[in-house]
Structure 1
Amino acid sequence: MPTPNDPLFNQSLEKGLAVLRAFNAAHRTLTLGELAELTGMSKGSAQRTVHTLQALGYVGKHPQTRRFQLLPKVIDIGFNYLAAHPLIRVAHPYLSQLAQSSGETASLTEAVETDMVYIAQFLTTQHIPVLTPVGMRIPMYCTSSGRAWLSTLPDAQARSLLGSAPRPARTPNTLTGVNAILDQIAQCRKTGYAINHQELFLGDMGIAAPVVNSSGRAIAAVHLSPPTSRWTLEEAQNRLAPMVIECARAISQSIAD
């Protein structure tokens, strides 16, 4: 976050990025007034910002509705990060093997604030109830990958992160209390893997293990997404958890070499 009176902080760039982030699955197209409201800008400031992004080719208008929408050029920004990421190149063969061995979707996620973001994924050929594409963000508190990542932090730091963001019940199974989530994190430290049983999406589970650096701190997490239509939680823990742990361990060792 910018510090007060930072002479180098560029507010115009901040506004441009805020406009780009305002578009999401719930807001695929937006009017100028909606953009101003979502970003906290005045309508005049939003108009100047959107005009600049439109001139640069990142934002355009829907041909029928004339509402603003993102254009394909915005993909360049995220793709450049992924293309240059050394961890993704290292993890690629291990994730491929994990997906093949398990028959389920294998993913690699990184922490962004109090979320985890998908940076690599190998999809199963079988039916999956939920689409989680690369670039999607999911909350730490109710996901196996988030809990795996938090498991490498001291309790006080994990508690602080959990308490710094809302924890709504995404499904009837979602754990929202900090102490209950910390209990799951403590269990992960014992077993080497974290679980999510229909806490983010109904019909979807998660089995995750942290990818750690030489200091033992998580830099990412590997997880499988077994659906409840094919697996019980007990079966997933018994058969899939060892695969996930081994995959995360292999990636961790590879980046340490």
Structure 2
Amino acid sequence: MEEKKPHENVRAVERALEILLAFRPGDKELTVAELLTRVDLSRPTLYRLLNTLEQNGFLASSGEPQRFRLGSSVAQVAHAWMANNTIAQLAQPMLRELWEATSETVALFVPEGTYRICVAELESPQPLSFRRGVGYREKLVLGASGRTILSQMPLSADDLRRYLTDPNQDVATLAADLDAVRAQGFGTSHHELIAGAVAVAAPFFNGANQVAGSVCIFGPSVRVTDERVAQFAALLKREVGNLSRALGHQGEAGRVPAAARR
């Protein structure tokens, strides 16, 4: 068989997503005939994609004629989305407190595999400022908000290797950096991902005593001096403690869970 061209693979994904989005509130099940009225696909193409979606758990079918309903994989994705958005909603008072106290951009990040994703952000009102935007995704090993999360995860040196962006990076040096972040309870970065930007981040925890994400304050280096970094760190520790308690964490605010110590 000929290998599919990249644009053909992308189009197949787009068509599969069109099928999933064809389901509307109140649609318990849809027949192929009903789906054909909602998506611009030929019957053979629709059947092929329906089969693929069913094999991967995004759809389930039953009956004769065959009727399709959303599958368990959709529920898994929805659960992940709702969990992140619940955290974003709970964090709003803490984020706003930090935003009002600093007048800098404040963002909330949650881990997603070897990445972290921004699920809430309050942009600085000042003319010179930086923002990432909700949905921004970056490797955990890069930036203060990412390494702060990584520092709280119980990872061996071998485990850390899969988080690297450069296979030649010294794992021992990274581990030492994470130890320092863990010891002080917050992380910083200077001009790392955005030229001229300084970031300060602290982790928050859930009721299972696991790191659930980080809250980050970032702004231009002309305003975020070493003195302000220290002030931001103190504010962050207070507010991530409040957020952790809101998520059911019982540990002492600012204290690293024992499971994260290597």
TM-score by length of 1: 0.64
Tell me how far 1:164 sits from its aligned partner.
1.0
Aligned to 2:183: 190
Aligned to 1:27: none
Equivalent pair of 1:104/1:225 in contact (CA under 8 Å):
yes
Tell me how far 1:250 sits from its aligned partner.
0.8
Could you tell me the percent identity over the aligned residues? 21
Q: 1:167 aligns with which of 165, 168, 172?
A: 165
Give the direction of change, closer, same or farther, for the CA distance of 1:153–1:54 in structure 2 (3 Å limit).
closer
Tell me how far 1:154 sits from its aligned partner.
2.3
Equivalent pair of 1:184/1:194 in contact (CA under 8 Å):
no
Comparing 141-150 and 84-93, the one that deviates more: 84-93
1:118 aligns with 2:118: yes
Aligned to 2:25: none
Q: 1:216 aligns with which of 209, 221, 230?
A: 209
Instruction: Give the AA of the match of 1:227.
Output: P
Give the direction of change, closer, same or farther, for the CA distance of 1:51–1:222 in structure 2 (3 Å limit).
closer
Distance 2:12 2:86 in 1: 37
Query: Gaps (5+ residues) in structure 2?
Result: 23-76, 250-262
Give the direction of change, closer, same or farther, for the CA distance of 1:110–1:160 in structure 2 (3 Å limit).
farther
Give the direction of change, closer, same or farther, for the CA distance of 1:147–1:127 in structure 2 (3 Å limit).
same
Instruction: Give the AA of the match of 2:231.
Output: R
Tell me how far 1:184 sits from its aligned partner.
1.9
Distance 1:132 1:201 in 2: 10
TM-score by length of 2: 0.63
Q: Secondary structure at the match of 1:116?
A: strand
- CA displacement 1:77-111 (0-9 Å, x = unmatched): 88x93597322221111100111101111111000
- CA displacement 1:182-216 (0-9 Å, x = unmatched): 22211122111111122222111211111112443
Equivalent pair of 2:95/2:106 in contact (CA under 8 Å):
yes
> How many residues are matched?
193
Alignment of 1:90-109 (within 5 A): 90-109=90-109
Distance 1:223 1:176 in 2: 25
Equivalent pair of 1:205/1:228 in contact (CA under 8 Å):
yes
Distance 1:191 1:84 in 2: 26
Aligned to 1:35: 7
Distance 2:6 2:165 in 1: 26
Instruction: Give the AA of the match of 2:222.
Output: S
Aligned to 1:141: 141
Tell me how far 1:225 sits from its aligned partner.
0.8
- The root-mean-square deviation of aligned C-alpha atoms, in Å, is 3.2
Give the direction of change, closer, same or farther, for the CA distance of 1:184–1:176 in structure 2 (3 Å limit).
same
Aligned to 2:233: 241
Instruction: Give the AA of the match of 1:163.
Output: R
- CA displacement 1:156-192 (0-9 Å, x = unmatched): 1xx44531144259xxxxx953222222211122111
Instruction: Give the AA of the match of 1:248.
Output: V
Instruction: Give the AA of the match of 2:117.
Output: V
Give the direction of change, closer, same or farther, for the CA distance of 1:177–1:227 in structure 2 (3 Å limit).
farther
- CA displacement 1:34-80 (0-9 Å, x = unmatched): 534xxxx4xxxx5444445457779xxxxxxxxxxxxxxxxxx88x9
Equivalent pair of 1:94/1:251 in contact (CA under 8 Å):
yes
Distance 1:92 1:132 in 2: 17
Tell me how far 1:143 sits from its aligned partner.
1.3
Distance 1:237 1:194 in 2: 10
Query: Gaps (5+ residues) in structure 1?
Result: 1-31, 59-76, 170-174
Distance 1:254 1:57 in 2: 34
Tell me how far 1:33 sits from its aligned partner.
5.0
Which protein shows a greater Rg?
2
